[in-house]
Amino acid sequence: MRNITLKHLRFAASAARLGSFAAAAEANNVTPPAVTMQIRQFEEDIGLPLFDRTPRGLEPTPAGQEVLLAAQRIENALEECREALLAFQSLDAGRVTVGVVSTAKYFAPRMLAAFSRLHPKIEVKLVVGNRQHIMDRFEAGVCDLCVMGRPPQTAEYESHLLGPHPYFFVAPPDHPLASRAHLPPSALAKEIFLVRELGSGTRHLMEVFFSKAGIAPVIGMEIGSNETIKQAVMAGLGLTFISAHTCAAEIHERRLVALDVVGLPMVRNWLVVRLAAKRLMPATRSLRDFLIAEGSSFLPNLASS
């Protein structure tokens, strides 16, 4: 691969992301034949095809996937170099990409906004998704820091405590269980539950709770959004197991009620996590230290709920 250049890698990455050579050409301000020629040269040099042409557009081959991973690592290294050079110019500059699991989106923006007010020259990029989405980007080195509750299982990482993270079951205020105290888990056995998608940390914790209680929950709907789940519970479509930090406002306003179930809340921790192998740049260090020192003050106040 001695003849492969950054231009080859960036054209291949654009084609994979956008699904066609024409779109890749437009994104890189060149003509489509120029992209086609560069990709053809790339494939001739390695002796393998990079893409399959499908009705949905270009799909990377196994060889193409390896090239794209290498391209991402190179872009990450160049970005780290850029940030290091900025750091030489200023101790308060650079860029940080923060991955946030969807349950944390209820407080993370305020937390990052407070940091940005203190460090206006540091660019903060926020990426929100379910746990699997964030983990994929974390392990690929795309995210400098992540806010999550369950650390990665397949990568060496450094983590710091942000604050406690309770979970419980919620119901509409007029539900028969809403006014009962000290409910045994068995009281939930015949209820219908609205659950997050597979890969969600909340779904995982709910399954752990029911497994320990020896209960097979009745699943009514699988919904990929906490907001939609809350609306569905308020409409009377079922109960749900949810992070207390996602529904503090609804509980305070009595639109939802936290059920008094024995053994709950399940309290986990919010963590600030970063890849141990990823170079700790000054901007990332500043944000990490801020989150460790101040992050807990941005968590929703459940006492007032």
pLDDT above 50: residue 219: yes
The pLDDT of residue 208: 95
pLDDT above 80: residue 155: no
> Is position 78 within any domain?
no
Residues 173 and 252 in one domain: yes
Residues 246 and 150 in one domain: no
Residues 276 and 152 in one domain: yes
Residues 23 and 115 in one domain: no
pLDDT above 60: residue 304: no
pLDDT above 90: residue 300: no
Residues 100 and 148 in one domain: yes
Residues 61 and 99 in one domain: no
Residues 259 and 185 in one domain: yes
The pLDDT of residue 305: 46
Residues 276-299 have pLDDT tens digits of: 988 888 889 999 999 999 999 999
- Tell me whether the omega of the peptide bond preceding residue 166 falls within 30 degrees of 0, making it cis: no
pTM beyond 0.75: no
> Is position 274 within any domain?
yes
pLDDT above 70: residue 188: yes
Q: How far apart are CA 254 and CA 124, in angstroms?
A: 35
Residue 163: closest CA among 175, 183, 147: 147
What CATH number is attached to the domain comprising 211?
3.40.190.10
The pLDDT of residue 221: 95
**What is the pLDDT averaged over residues 214-232?**
95
Residues 44 and 178 in one domain: no
Secondary structure letter of residue 280 according to DSSP:
-
What CATH number is attached to the domain comprising 33?
1.10.10.10
| Boundaries of domain holding 181 | 164-268
Residues 74-115 have pLDDT tens digits of: 988 888 788 777 766 655 778 899 999 988 999 999 999 999
**Final residue belonging to a domain, choices 69, 101, 123:** 69
Dihedral of the alpha carbons of 229, 235, 236, 242, in degrees to the nearest 10: 20
The β-bridge relationship of strands 218-222 and 57-60 is unpaired
Q: How far apart are CA 235 and CA 220, in angstroms?
A: 14
Name the phi and psi angles at 85, rounded to 5.
-65, -40
> Is position 97 within any domain?
yes
Residues 154 and 13 in one domain: no
Angle at 112 between CA 269 and CA 83, to 5 degrees: 110
The β-bridge relationship of strands 157-171 and 240-243 is antiparallel
The pLDDT of residue 87: 66
Q: How far apart are CA 213 and CA 271, in angstroms?
A: 27
The pLDDT of residue 161: 95
**pLDDT confidence band for 244 (50 / 70 / 90):** very high
> Is position 74 within any domain?
no
> Is position 81 within any domain?
no
Burial class (CB in 10 A: 0-12, 13-18, 19+), 13: buried
pLDDT above 60: residue 254: yes
> Is position 79 within any domain?
no
Buried b (16+ CB within 10 A) or exposed e, 227-241: eebbebbbeebbbbb
The number of domains in the chain is 3
Q: How far apart are CA 270 and CA 82, in angstroms?
A: 30
Residues 255 and 190 in one domain: yes
Residues 196-215 have pLDDT tens digits of: 988 788 999 999 999 999 99
Average pLDDT value over all residues in the chain: 91
> Is position 82 within any domain?
no
Residues 159 and 273 in one domain: yes
Residues 222 and 186 in one domain: yes
> Is position 76 within any domain?
no
